[in-house]
Amino acid sequence: MTNLFYNQAEIKLFKKLNSPKKIQDYLNSLKINFEKNGETCMSPRFVIKTKTAHCMEGAMFAAAVLEFAGARPLVLDLRSAFHDFDHVIAVFKQFGCFGAISKTNHAVLRYREPVYKTIRELALSFFHEYFDDQGKKTLREYSKLFDLSYFNKLNWRTSSAKLFEIPEHLDEIKHYKILSKKQIRNLRKADKVEIETGKLVEWKR
């Protein structure tokens, strides 16, 4: 069924990326999309074409490849405190557990092995890595799982348009709080060595 969306070169690539590990390896090979010419939200087709992606684009690409292999194209939004950035991941399930594929330029917020029994467990695995430059831990909420086939009308897999409607909708769907106000007030800052590690980047501007 999903073969109908893609050209022969894309199908050949997707057949090679026949496991979450291989999808992650492919995403890691792509340069980070710094959006030098303005904000983008590219379809998987244009991620392949431009050989670049940011977290939303990487999650959509990974979801498309997972769907090609027979899974649902699922993504999850990790929502931060107001002064930090959100992060979007593609979610897969193996051995009865959830894992995640993630495109990031930093040493943290990366691939998750499928060892998490619930989506909350998966989301919480990012908590201690999710801090700002001052070491304040900023992860606050995670969304319900979102199936990208909801946006089939936009041809999200292959469109040449900027698909901003997708992250906008993802921001609006139900999110679940991680912390109480007391827990937020009680948070300890990340250690200096953690902050320095967080500054490591894979791709230079």
pLDDT of 165-199, one tens digit each? 999 999 999 999 999 999 999 999 999 999 999 89
Closest CA to 141 of 86, 100, 185, 91: 86
The mean of the pLDDT values for the chain is 96
In a domain, 30, yes or no: yes
In a domain, 102, yes or no: yes
In the numeric block, the tokens 């917020």 are attached to 109
In a domain, 71, yes or no: yes
In a domain, 107, yes or no: yes
CB 84 within 8 A of CB 138: yes
In a domain, 183, yes or no: yes
What is the residue range of 174's domain? Answer: 2-198
The strand pair at 112-116 and 97-101 is best described as antiparallel
Ranges of beta strands (E only) in 20-178 are 31-32, 52-53, 74-80, 87-94, 97-101, 112-116, 139-143, 146-147, 175-177
Chain segment 43-81, per-residue pLDDT in tens:
999 999 999 999 999 999 999 999 999 999 999 999 999
Q: How far apart are the first and last CA of the chain?
A: 39
Count of domains for the chain: 1
In a domain, 204, yes or no: no
- pLDDT at residue 1, as a whole number: 61
Question: Is the per-residue pLDDT at 8 higher than 80?
Answer: yes
In a domain, 136, yes or no: yes
In a domain, 205, yes or no: no
- pLDDT at residue 160, as a whole number: 97
